[in-house]
A = this chain, B = another copy of it.
Amino acid sequence: MIRPTPAIEAIPATTPFVGPEQLMREAGLRRLVRLGANESPFGPSPKAIAAMSAELERLGWYGDPESLDLRDALAQKHGCNQQQIVVGSGIDDVMGLAVRAFVAPGGVVLTTRGTYPTLNYHAIGYGARLEFADYRPDGTPDLDALLEIARRLRPALVYLANPDNPSGRFIGRDDMNRFCSALPHDSLLLLDEAYADFVATRDLLPLRIEERVIRMRTFSKAYGMAGARIGYGVTAESNVRTFQKIRLHYGINRNAQVGALASLADDAFRDRVVAATARARSDYYALASELGCGFIESCTNFVCLDMETAARATQVVNDLLRRGVWVRKPGAPPLDRYVRVSAGTEPMRRAFAGALRQVVAEVPA
């Protein structure tokens, strides 16, 4: 009889995100307007596509396990050195490494209730004790509440997404500076900046290399390479050396490295995506006004539309899916009354708007 370890057996069977492919199979849908995972409908930079296309014939070779060329380019971008960068198969991977490396079983992981669930997945997976601060009523992560709990419980790890997911809110550099300084110095801050490319750099917390902060970035959002699975963390070299002991050295696709490197050399493309994303947000705001829904102004590539109650938001999501439009909704109050829709192309936005108008008219408020 083969049994998992007691720690693994104790983990409840959960899936952080059901993928659209499974939803399509279950619903018998052949096409889906994908607006549920904050993917970029604009895809990768044409320069990245060209570089990856040319590289496909060399896919028989493993990728560089150290991502040396990419880390050189990232170090240049961030004004640090490459020993301060860890590359992973997306931020999810870096997040898992951070929990594994820095949170002993029973250690406390502090996060905001209802933000990115994959952090919770890793925390549960490594036997951590999850503690939550609630969002402020307006959907902003509550830095004061996080600090209060952090001072009391001295968590091994504090997670914050900024810009935040799923609200789309952004916390400016002054507030962030105060927050970082006030955190207990033995708590590691895991700062998820997946959506930072949609914010002006001058508004972001300046980069200071510190052992107690890991800043995570990704090529999945503005760079349009979610399918490639490549992201990274910037932190003190000592932390990168720790990750080096446990990370999957050959885990990152060769072509993902090549595409990421080419993407970094195409700022103009990223800027066009950021501008197109802003137009998508404006469209969603206008749609919300037309339908008389509230919404949260977003600094990301998605917008939360207020459906007034969680039950109605759930029904709207389900009804949209039946019409072939896939969006998601936050799982916890106060944001669970919202539907979260990702920035689509114009045709995708039209499809969403058409379906939402029908659904909102049918589902009683």
Cβ contact within 8 Å between A61 and B125: no
Cβ contact within 8 Å between B186 and A1: yes
Residues of B within 8 A of A259 (CB): 59
Tell me if A244 counts as interface (CB < 8 A to partner B): yes
Q: How many copies does the complex hold?
A: 2
Q: Knowing A2-B186, A11-B245, A63-B229 touch, does A253 contact B251 (C-beta < 8 A)?
A: no
Q: How far is the CB of A52 from chain B (nearest CB, A)?
A: 6
> Which residues of A, 45-66, contact B by the 8 Å Cβ criterion?
49, 52-53, 56-66
Q: How far is the CB of A257 from chain B (nearest CB, A)?
A: 9
Q: How far is the CB of A302 from chain B (nearest CB, A)?
A: 14
Q: How far is the CB of A12 from chain B (nearest CB, A)?
A: 8
Q: DSSP class of A's interface residues: helix, strand, loop or mixed?
A: loop
Stretch from A35-43, A200-208, A353-361 forming part of the interface with B: A35-43
Cβ contact within 8 Å between B245 and A227: no
What size tier do the contact residues of chain A reach?
35 or more
Residues of B within 8 A of A56 (CB): 44, 49, 52-53
- 13 extra A-B contacts, CB within 8 A, seeds A2-B102, A90-B251, A229-B252: A4-B242, A9-B242, A13-B245, A21-B65, A22-B64, A22-B68, A39-B61, A39-B62, A49-B56, A63-B227, A118-B249, A118-B250, A227-B255
Q: List 15 A-B contacts (CB under 8 A).
A: A5-B103, A5-B107, A8-B102, A8-B242, A11-B245, A13-B244, A21-B66, A37-B62, A53-B53, A63-B229, A90-B251, A92-B249, A92-B251, A227-B254, A255-B255
Binding site for B on A (CB under 8 A): 1-9, 11-17, 19, 21-22, 25, 34, 37, 39-44, 49, 52-53, 56-66, 68-69, 89-90, 92-93, 96, 100-104, 107, 118, 121, 125, 185-186, 188, 211-212, 220, 224-229, 239, 241-242, 244-246, 248-256, 259
